Amino acid sequence: MSEMTVMMSKRNFLEVCMGIEKLCADLYHHYSEIYEDIPEASQLWKKTALEEENHRRQFELALRLVNETEFEVSKDGLKRAYSIQYKLLNLMEHIKDNKPDLLTAVTKALEMESNLADLHVHTSLHFEDESMQKLFNTLGEADRDHVTDMQRYRTILYLPLCEMAG
């Protein structure tokens, strides 16, 4: 691949990832508002939204440093990022008119966070610069924390359903 193609792939990947993080933040802010009558849920969504905004800023930093930082992006990584962005756009469009019940919202968010964690692990940007690498390793850990937080909350939501069935 030419140097120009490689640079465009890097830029595209970082821009798509910034877009994904913004969509996630927007989704979680939306959920925080529509579930404001359930404080635990609203707080979980708000906390996660703010963390996604921070992740977007990390990608923005990487984009600003793209010319000074050596890293690689696979074609598969770029395809995965576009696929996740597309699914997120569809989800956002759907929930504008259809408020999901809380359990569905948590379950869908959990799927999405798992896909994002998977994207970050499989494309795991390999930076030459150690401090940039640490920054993005932290991003992957935060995605796993989101998954853990949402799994815990989903389990709490399932408990009353289990008691009613038993």
CATH number of the domain encompassing residue 31: 1.20.1260.10
* Residue of 57, 50, 17 lying closest to 32 (CA atoms): 50
At a CB cut-off of 8 Å and minimum separation 6, what does 31 contact? 41, 45, 105, 109
Q: Residue 106's pLDDT is what?
A: 93
Q: Work out the average pLDDT over 29-33.
A: 96
Asked if 31 and 45 touch (Cβ cutoff 8 Å), the reply is yes
Query: In which residue are the tokens 């996604």 written?
Result: 52
Q: Measure the CA–CA gap between 127 and 21, rounded to whole angstroms.
A: 20
DSSP 50-109: HHHHHHHHHHHHHHHTTTT------HHHHHHHHHHHHHHHHHHHHHHH-PPPHHHHHHHH
DSSP string of 104-155, one letter each residue: HHHHHHHHHHHHHHHHHHHS----SSHHHHHHHHHHHHHHHHHHHHHHHHHH
Residue with more model confidence, 93 or 134: 93
What is the Cα–Cα distance from 14 to 51, expressed in whole angstroms? Answer: 17
Give residue-wise pLDDT tens across range 93-133. 999 889 999 999 999 898 888 888 777 665 656 777 787 77
What would the mean pLDDT of 27-46 be, rounded to a whole number? Answer: 95
pTM of the model: 0.86
End-to-end CA distance of the chain: 60
What's the structural domain count of the chain? 1
Look at residue 165 and tell me whether its pLDDT is greater than 80. no
Among the residue ranges 10-14, 19-23, 60-64, 72-76, the one predicted with the least confidence is 72-76
Mean pLDDT of the residues in the chain: 85
Q: Are 77 and 122 in contact (CB under 8 A)?
A: yes
pLDDT tens digits for 44-68? 999 999 999 999 998 898 889 888 8
**pLDDT band per the 50, 70, 90 thresholds, residue 1:** low
Q: Average pLDDT for residues 64-82, to the nearest whole number?
A: 83
Host domain of residue 67:
3-165
